[in-house]
Each structure stands twice: as structure tokens, then as C-alpha cells.
């Protein structure tokens, strides 16, 4: 299957790149550890911890994907792909699947580290956190694919991070609960996927269940699919 061919290829590329794998898997744990240490005297880590678990998969996969896709565009491999019988959707979903698998491994490590080493209290089931991380990573991948369409160089691709990701962190409920924000900001926040990722992890951490977890996860998944479809439009087979 052509979709799986791309997934295998992306995983093989990462398998050759030990440093990137280490960065993807270890950096989130280090940062969670730092936060745990920083807030070791109080309860703040119990609030911040889940939010961090909601941020990492998205941010990291966004960066990795936007650079990887730009490399496809500049190395001639994307152009070659367009001359094969394979479809553009199988390329894009192949990427999403590969990074989704990585995100699950990353989430497993980060969640277990946060819970068992740093003493984060998650009242809800841990598998839900892993699931959210995977959906969140796929959403980050999808947005990275989309953002790379606006970059011509790797420098620009990295600069897309502050453009596409930082505003979401600012209004996503990390610094201030959404309810406490001005109404236009609330409205803005509800247009952004990361808001729902944070809402979902907070719901799991607070042992809410059912729709309180399901609704933000479904919205997040819809964002992911939407961006994947839109990014396939940013990769026309025929270019000028």
C-alpha cells in the first residue's frame, strides 16, 4: 500500500537520524522534569504538568514536519513523487501516520516520566492522555504540512513556528483560563486547535469523562483531518 510505503520511508529516515529521535523522545521528559523541579514546593506543577503534556506533541511535530516537508520540496523528491502513480493524499496521510506513531512513543515516555518520576497526579486513565497526545501530534503534523507551503527555505520553515504555534500557546489556556479572557480572545482561542488539546488533557487530569474529554478530542481530530486535506491542496501535481 502506497500510504504505508511513505510511512515506512519516513520512519526509516528518522531511524537513521539518531539525534532527532533522541531530541523528540528525551527533550519533553527533560522539560517536564525542569517544571517539576521549578514548582517542587507547591501545587502549581499539578496544573502546569498536564498542559505541558498537551503542548509537546503538537509543537515538536509541527517543527519536524514543516522542515521535513520543505526538504521534500527543495530536494526534488516531492516533484518525483508527483510523477509516480501514488496519490497526494497517501503521501500526506503516510506522513501523519509515521509522526503519529512517533508521537505515541513520545507520549508514553513523557506521561510515565511525569507520573512516576515527577509525581504528577492524573486522576483519569493514562491511556486517554496517550491518545490525546497522538491526535495532537497528528494535528501538529497536519499544521506543519500546511505551514511549509508558505516557506521557501528552511530558515523560513523554522520561523513558521512563532507564527502558527506561539499565538496558540498564548491564548490556548496555558497562561490564563479561557473563561477569564476577554470575549474576542475567547472567540479567537476557540478557533485554534491547541486550545482543545489543552482542554482535553486538563479534563483527563481532572478525572472528567465522557463528553468533557470526547468533545475536545473530536474537535482536535477534525482540525487534524481538515489541515491534512487543505495541505494536500497546497501540493498541486502541476506547478508553474
Partner 1 sequence: MYLMNPAVIVDGLTVKRGKTQVFDGFSATIASGRITGLLGPSGCGKTTLIRAIVGIQKIQSGSVVVLGRQAGELSLRDQVSYSSQADGVYKDLSVKENIEYYARLASVSEDDVARVIDLVGLGSQTKQIVASLSGGQSRRVSLAVALLGSPQVVVLDEPTVGLDPVLRASLWDIFASQAAQGTTFIVSSHVMDEAARCDDLILIRQGQLVAATTPERLLSDTGQKDAEAAFLYLIRKSEQDAGAGQDETSVDSAPAHNGDHHDAGGQR
Give dist(CA 168, CA 191) in Å, integer.
Answer: 9
Task: State the nearest-atom distance from the C-beta of 142 to partner 1, in Å.
Answer: 21
Task: State the nearest-atom distance from the C-beta of 184 to partner 1, in Å.
Answer: 40
CA distances from 61 to 56, 114, 136, 149, 205 (A): 8, 20, 9, 16, 23
Task: State the nearest-atom distance from the C-beta of 197 to partner 1, in Å.
Answer: 30
User: Of 7 and 128, which CB lies nearer to partner 1 in the complex structure?
Assistant: 7
Residue with cell string 521557501: 152
Task: State the nearest-atom distance from the C-beta of 150 to partner 1, in Å.
Answer: 18
Task: State the nearest-atom distance from the C-beta of 23 to partner 1, in Å.
Answer: 15
Which three cell numbers, joined as nine digits, stand for 70?
Answer: 520543505
Choose among 73, 95, 117: nearest CA to 5.
95
User: Of 17 and 123, which CB lies nearer to partner 1 in the complex structure?
Assistant: 17
Task: State the nearest-atom distance from the C-beta of 102 to partner 1, in Å.
Answer: 16
Q: Please provide the size of the chain in residues.
A: 240
Which three cell numbers, joined as nine digits, stand for 108?
Answer: 508514553
User: Of 9 and 215, which CB lies nearer to partner 1 in the complex structure?
Assistant: 9
Residue with cell string 501535481: 237
Binding residues vs partner 1 (CB under 8 A): 2, 5-6, 8-9, 12-13, 16-17, 74-77, 79-86, 236-240
- Residue 19 region by backbone torsions, left for phi larger than 0, else alpha for psi between -120 and 50, else beta: alpha
CA distances from 127 to 25, 111, 115, 201, 238 (A): 18, 10, 13, 11, 43
User: Of 82 and 218, which CB lies nearer to partner 1 in the complex structure?
Assistant: 82
User: Of 8 and 190, which CB lies nearer to partner 1 in the complex structure?
Assistant: 8
User: Of 47 and 77, which CB lies nearer to partner 1 in the complex structure?
Assistant: 77
Give dist(CA 231, CA 27) in Å, integer.
Answer: 28
User: Of 15 and 166, which CB lies nearer to partner 1 in the complex structure?
Assistant: 15
Task: State the nearest-atom distance from the C-beta of 29 to partner 1, in Å.
Answer: 25
Give dist(CA 3, CA 98) in Å, integer.
Answer: 10
Amino acid at each position: 500500500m502506497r500510504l504505508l510505503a511513505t510511512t515506512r520511508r519516513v520512519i526509516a529516515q528518522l531511524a537513521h537520524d539518531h539525534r532527532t529521535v533522541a531530541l523528540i523522545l528525551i527533550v519533553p521528559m527533560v522539560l517536564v522534569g525542569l517544571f517539576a523541579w521549578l514548582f517542587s514546593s507547591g501545587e502549581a506543577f499539578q496544573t502546569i504538568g498536564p498542559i505541558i503534556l498537551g503542548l509537546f506533541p503538537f509543537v515538536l511535530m509541527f517543527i519536524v514536519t514543516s522542515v521535513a516537508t520543505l526538504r521534500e520540496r527543495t530536494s526534488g523528491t516531492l516533484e518525483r513523487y508527483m510523477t509516480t502513480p501514488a496519490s497526494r493524499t497517501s503521501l500526506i496521510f503516510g506522513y501523519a501516520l509515521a509522526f503519529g506513531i512517533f508521537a505515541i512513543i513520545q507520549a508514553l515516555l513523557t506521561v510515565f516520566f511525569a507520573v512516576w518520576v515527577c509525581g504528577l497526579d492524573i486522576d483519569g486513565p493514562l491511556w486517554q492522555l496517550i491518545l490525546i497526545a497522538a491526535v495532537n501530534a497528528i494535528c501538529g503534523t497536519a499544521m506543519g504540512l500546511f505551514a511549509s507551503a508558505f516557506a521557501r527555505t528552511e530558515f523560513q520553515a523554522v520561523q513558521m513556528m512563532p507564527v502558527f504555534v506561539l499565538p496558540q500557546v498564548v491564548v490556548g489556556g496555558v497562561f490564563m483560563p479561557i473563561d477569564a479572557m476577554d470575549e474576542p480572545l475567547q472567540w479567537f482561542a476557540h478557533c485554534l486547535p491547541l486550545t482543545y488539546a489543552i482542554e482535553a488533557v486538563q479534563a483527563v487530569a481532572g478525572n472528567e469523562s465522557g463528553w468533557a474529554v470526547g468533545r475536545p478530542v473530536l474537535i482536535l481530530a477534525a482540525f487534524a483531518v481538515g489541515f491534512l486535506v487543505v495541505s494536500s491542496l497546497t501540493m498541486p501535481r502541476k506547478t508553474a
